[in-house]
Structure 1
Amino acid sequence: MEVQTLKPAQPAAMQPRPQIVTVALADVKPEAVNWLWPGWIPRGRLTLIAGDPGVGKSWLTQAVAASVSVGKGLCGEQDPQDVILIAFEDDPADTLRPRLEALGADLGRVHVYQTVRDVGRKGKPVERGLLFPEDAALLVDLIKQTGVGLAVIDPLVAAQNAAIDSHRQAAMRSILQPLHDAARDTGAAIVFTVHLRKSSSDNTLYRACGSIDLVAAVRTAIVVGCDPNDPARRGAAVFKSNLAEFPEPIAFKLENGQMLIESHPALDLTADRLLGPTESGEERSAVDEAVDFLRELLANGPVEAKAVMKEAKSAGIAERTLNRAKVALGVITRRSTRPGEKTGPWVWSLPDSRLPKEVDSAEQRLWQS
C-alpha cells in the first residue's frame, strides 16, 4: 500500500489591512480662509441659503453671481470669474437673463444649467435631469472645464435622488460629502438653497428643511427673510459660521424687476428677527415708540444698562419691547471702563456714538460719561 504524504496547505497571501492615516499639525501649512464674499461665502466650501418661498433667496444667489462675474459690487473687488447657475425654478429666457442683466452681470461668464446628456440602455444618447449624489463627479468636471469660482444649486432638493430621506443624517451625508469634496477639490464656492420649516418657534439652526446635517455640513449658513415691520423690505443674515465672526446683515427691496440693496448695514435685521412672525400695527407702534425713547436717552452718549431699564419701566415700556427696539436701532452693549478700574458697569450706546481710541485686548472699551 502506497503511503501518500500530504503537503500542508499553503497559507493564502495576506491582504494588507486598511490603515488610518494621520498627519502632525506641525507638518500642516497654515492657510487663511479664501473668501468669495468676505464673511458670507468661502471659496472651496459649502454655503447654505435658507428662506421661505418668495422671500428672495434666488435673487441673492443671482446678485452674488453677477458680482463674481464682473469682479465688483456685492462681493467686493476681485478678479472676474465665471459662474454656474443650476436654477431649477427660474426660466433662463424670461427670468434669469433679465435679472442678471439688471444686476449688471457679464452674461458671457454666467453658465446656466440645461440638462445632462447621457447614454441610454441601448447605447443611444438621452437627456435627463441632474441627480445628486450620482452626478457630483460631473459637477467637478464642469467646474474644472469652465474654471468657475461659484456654482449655485437652487434648490438642492430639486437635484436630490428621490430615494434619499432628507430627514436622515446618514442619507443626507451621501449628498453633502460629494459636494463638499467637489468644492474642496476645485476651490470653487458651492452654494445651495433650501426652504424653511413652518414652525417659527424653533432655534434658527433647526429651521432648514430636512436633516440638521444640512446646517452642520456647511461652513456658513445664511437666512433670507422679510422685515417684520415692512414685508416689502427683505434681509439676509448669517446665522451659522465656522470660519469668521458674523458679518453685518444686509437689506434689499425687489421693485420693477430690480434688486435694490441698501447701502448701509441692516443692523435691525438679525437672523432671529427675519425668521419671526410679521408684527401687528399695534406691536410696530410700541416698538417705534421704544426706538424713539432709546434714541433720545442715548443721544448724549453711553448710559448704564440698569439706568436704561429703570427709565424704560418708568415710561411704561415693557422689557420685551425695549429689547426689540434695541435690535431695531442697532444699540451697542459693552462693559464700560473708567480710569483706574479694570471693568465698569454694562452700558448701552447708539451705533454712531464716538468711542475712545484705546482698545482693550479683550473687547472695545466704552467710556461712561
Structure 2
Amino acid sequence: MTLDEIKARLQNVHGGSARCPAHEDKSNSLSVTEGKNGRVLLKCHAGCTTEKICGALGITVADLFSESLKKEEKPRQEKREFVAKYDYTDENGAFLYRKTRYRTESGGKTFVWSHKDGKEMKIGRGGAEPVLYNLWEAADKPELYMVEGEKDVETLRRMGLTAVSVPDGAASKWHGNFTAALESKRVTIIEDNDEPGKAFAERAAQALFGHAAEVKILDLTREWTDLKPHGDISDVVDMEGSKKDVLRRLEALQITTPVYTPHNAEAAQEAAQSPEDAAEEDAAEDAFFECFRPLSDFDEREAAWLIPGWVPKGQITLLAADGGTGKTTLWCNIVAALSSGRKSLLDTADTDRKPLSVAFLTTEDSVRQKLKRKLREAGADQTKVLTPDFLADKEGLLRDFKFGTHKMASFIRRFRPALCVFDPVQGFIPPEINMGSRNAMRDCMAPLISLGEEYGTTFLIICHTNKRKGASGRDRIADTADLWDIARSVLMMGYTEEAGVRYLSNEKNNYASLQETVLFTIDEAGQPHRSGTSMKRDREYMLAAAAEIKNPTLCNDCKEALLQVLDENECSMAVKDMEAKLKEYGYTFRTIRRAKEDLCASSAIRVKPGGKGAPWVVEKTEFSEPDTYTPPSDT
C-alpha cells in the first residue's frame, strides 16, 4: 500500500502525524512517513507496536512494503575476507560482544556482530545495549580522543593515545550511556573528511556539551591539507609514515583548536540527512509539538490518595530506613492491605477500600523462601499480587528490567497495578547510571511520573539510609538526594528510645500537611501494630541516638548492669525480662541495645532462640552451648 492509502485510513492527519488507531489517542501520537524503497513507517510515541497498529487499520505489516520491494530479489552475497575483530567490553573489561570486519571482493567493507551464548558465539549483540569501543581503557582517563571507528581507535592506541569510538560509525545513534561514560572528561573529537563525519562530530559534541569537562572538534585538513575525501586519522598515519611526526602535529592541532561551543548545529545535521530521514524527523517534530497545549485545555483535579495523607495516588513515595528496621514488614503490610481490601498500618479507622491489583519487584529477598510466607501471613490476596519469577527467566529477559527502559514502561501499561513496590531502588537503576549524578537520576526516574499519571500506578521506592553522623531528613538518603526531590511523599523509619517501638515519620508531603509520626511494634509473628503517635520527627530521634552514642560511660555502665542481672538469674534469662529489668534501672532501650551489641561482639554474652513458641534467651557465653545462633541486633 502507498503512504496516501495508509493516511486515508487514519484520523486527524496533519502532515506526518495522525491519531493512533491502536489506543485512545487525543494528541496525534502516531508518526506516519515513507521510508526507503517506498516502505510506510508507522511509529506510535505512546508505545503501540507496528503489529497492533496494522491490526487496528485492518492491514498486515507486509502491506507497509511497496510492491517493488516485495518483489525485489536478494542480491548475490559477495565473498569476503577477514580483516580484524574488535571486542566490546564494559568499563571493567568484561566481554559484551564482538564486531568482525571483512573486506568484500568488490573492495568494500562489511561488519558482523556476535556474542557469547554459553561457550558458543552467536550472531548479533545478544540484546546488550550499544557501548563505546575501548570503554574499559578510557574509564579512568581524564582526557581522550573520540573517532568514528574501531580501526582509528587502534591507530591512536599504537601511538600511545587513549581513544574511543561509537559502534556504528557516523550513522550511530547517540545513547545516554555514551555521555555518562565521558562525564567530566576532556574529549577531543577527530572528524572524518566528509559531510557525514562532520555531522557526527557536531552531534557528539552537542551531546557532550555541558557534561564533559571540555570538548574540541579537530579538522584534520587544517594540518594535512592534502587529506583525501573521506580520509581519517588512519589515512593520515599512512600518508606520513612516521607516527612520531603525526603525534607531534596532532598535538599541535589539538592545542590550537578552540573549545567547542554549539553553533550551526541544524545546518550540519541537515547536510547529513537523507530525504527519508528528514521526513521522519519532521513527523516526529509534529508529534512533539502536539504535546503542547494551552492551560485552558487541562482539567483541574484534586490530589488523590492510595493511602490518605501518606501515599499519593499515581505518584512516587520514598520509604527510607537503616537495615533491619522493618522496611520489608511495612511494605508487605501495605501490599497485603491493598490486595485484600483491608486497612494497613497507616490507614484511619474509617478507611474503606476495594481489593486492588498490586506488584512488587525485589532484588534482595527470595519470593519463595521468605516473601510469599510473609505476605500470606499478612493477609494478602495472593491472586492480586504480581511479581517477576527470576527462576523462570532462562534467557536473561529480566536483566535490563530497569527504570527508564521500554520493558519497565511496557510492564506498567500491560498490568496497570495500583501499587508497584521497588525494593531496593539500587536494584532497578541501569548500570550505566551514576546515582550521584542529579541529571542522570532525573532522566532515569522521570518516566515513572508520566506512567503513574497516565495509568494510575503508584510507586513505592525502598532505599537504605546512610550512617553519616548528625544527618537527618534528605541528608540520610543513601547514594543520592535526588530521590528525595523526585518523590512526592517521603517516609523514614527508625527505632525510638522505647524497647521494640519503631517510628514512621512523614518527612515530606507535597499534597497535604505532614502526618503525625506513627509509633508501632512488630509482634513475634512479624506483624506490625500501632502503639501511638508522636510529634517528633526523624531529626529528633537521630539527635537523641547520637547523644547516647557520644556517652561511652553510660554504655559501659549498662554493660556491667546487664552482666550483673544475668549473674543474679543463673547467667541466663529471657531477653524481654532482661530489657525490662535494665529499664527499671533507668537505661533507655537504645542504650540497652548498644550494650547488648557490644557484649555479643566481644563474645561475653550470646542470644539464642528459646524453643518453639518460647521467647529469645540471653546468656553469658561461658555457660552457653557451642554453635548457638546469634540473631540480628534488633531481634
Q: TM-score range by the shorter chain?
A: 0.5 to 0.7
**Aligned-pair CA distance for 1:198:** 1.4
Q: Quick one: which of 59, 80, 87 aligns to 2:362?
A: 87
Letter in 2 for 1:271: D
Change (3 A) 1:164 1:116: farther
Change (3 A) 1:95 1:277: farther
Higher relative contact order (CA 8 A, sep 6+): 1
Q: Quick one: which of 367, 388, 396 aligns to 1:113?
A: 388
2:504 aligned residue:
236
Q: How far apart in 2 are the matches of 1:95 and 1:154?
A: 14
Q: Quick one: which of 320, 334, 340 aligns to 1:70?
A: 340
Contact 2:304/2:313 (8 A) holds in 1:
yes
Question: How far does the alpha carbon of each residue in 1:261-289 deviate from its partner, in whole angstroms, 9 at most, with x for none?
Answer: 2154x215422234445364999xxxxxx
1:355 aligned residue:
none
Letter in 1 for 2:450: D
Gaps of 5+ in 1: 1-11, 119-123, 284-369
Equivalences for 1:95-174 in 2 at 5 Å? 95-115=370-390, 125-133=395-403, 135=405, 137-174=406-443
Q: How far apart in 1 are the matches of 2:384 and 2:501?
A: 30
Matched residue SS, 2:485: helix
**Aligned-pair CA distance for 1:29:** 1.5
**Aligned-pair CA distance for 1:24:** 3.8
1:255 aligned residue:
523
Question: How far does the alpha carbon of each residue in 1:165-207 deviate from its partner, in whole angstroms, 9 at most, with x for none?
Answer: 1111011112211222222221111111111121142351222
Matched residue SS, 1:232: coil
Report the number of matched residues: 264
Change (3 A) 1:62 1:151: same
Matched residue SS, 2:452: helix
1:40 aligned residue:
310
- RMSD across aligned positions (CA): 2.9
Larger radius of gyration: 2
Q: Quick one: which of 213, 216, 223 aligns to 2:492?
A: 223
Contact 1:46/1:220 (8 A) holds in 2:
yes
Contact 2:522/2:528 (8 A) holds in 1:
yes
Question: How far does the alpha carbon of each residue in 1:287-345 deviate from its partner, in whole angstroms, 9 at most, with x for none?
Answer: xxxxxxxxxxxxxxxxxxxxxxxxxxxxxxxxxxxxxxxxxxxxxxxxxxxxxxxxxxx
Q: How far apart in 2 are the matches of 1:147 and 1:241?
A: 24
Change (3 A) 1:78 1:213: same
Q: Quick one: which of 197, 202, 220 aligns to 2:471?
A: 202
Change (3 A) 1:52 1:25: same
Q: Quick one: which of 262, 271, 275 aligns to 2:538?
A: 271
Q: How far apart in 2 are the matches of 1:188 and 1:58?
A: 20
Matched residue SS, 1:238: strand
Q: How far apart in 2 are the matches of 1:19 and 1:281?
A: 58
Contact 1:252/1:259 (8 A) holds in 2:
no
Letter in 1 for 2:525: G
Change (3 A) 1:70 1:272: same
Matched residue SS, 1:180: helix
Structure 1, 186-195 or 99-108: larger mean CA deviation? 99-108
Contact 2:516/2:535 (8 A) holds in 1:
no
Letter in 2 for 1:93: R
Q: How far apart in 1 are the matches of 2:480 and 2:548?
A: 32
Letter in 2 for 1:272: R
Q: TM-score when scaled to structure 2?
A: 0.38
Contact 2:420/2:458 (8 A) holds in 1:
yes
Q: How far apart in 1 are the matches of 2:470 and 2:544?
A: 10
More helix by percentage: 2
Q: How far apart in 2 are the matches of 1:94 and 1:168?
A: 36
Change (3 A) 1:51 1:23: same
Contact 2:320/2:491 (8 A) holds in 1:
yes
Q: How far apart in 2 are the matches of 1:203 and 1:234?
A: 16
Change (3 A) 1:197 1:41: same
Structure 1, 86-95 or 236-245: larger mean CA deviation? 86-95
1:179 aligned residue:
448
Q: How far apart in 2 are the matches of 1:34 and 1:42?
A: 6
**Aligned-pair CA distance for 1:81:** 0.7
**Aligned-pair CA distance for 1:59:** 1.4
Structure 1, 12-21 or 35-44: larger mean CA deviation? 12-21
Letter in 2 for 1:91: S
1:354 aligned residue:
none
Change (3 A) 1:26 1:164: same
**Aligned-pair CA distance for 1:210:** 2.3
Contact 2:521/2:531 (8 A) holds in 1:
no
**Aligned-pair CA distance for 1:134:** 5.2
Structure 1 position 56 matched with structure 2 position 326: yes
Q: How far apart in 2 are the matches of 1:199 and 1:218?
A: 22
Letter in 1 for 2:449: H
Q: How far apart in 1 are the matches of 2:491 and 2:433?
A: 24
Q: How far apart in 2 are the matches of 1:186 and 1:28?
A: 17
**Aligned-pair CA distance for 1:20:** 9.2
Percent identity for Structure 1 against Structure 2: 22
**Aligned-pair CA distance for 1:141:** 2.9
Change (3 A) 1:26 1:116: farther
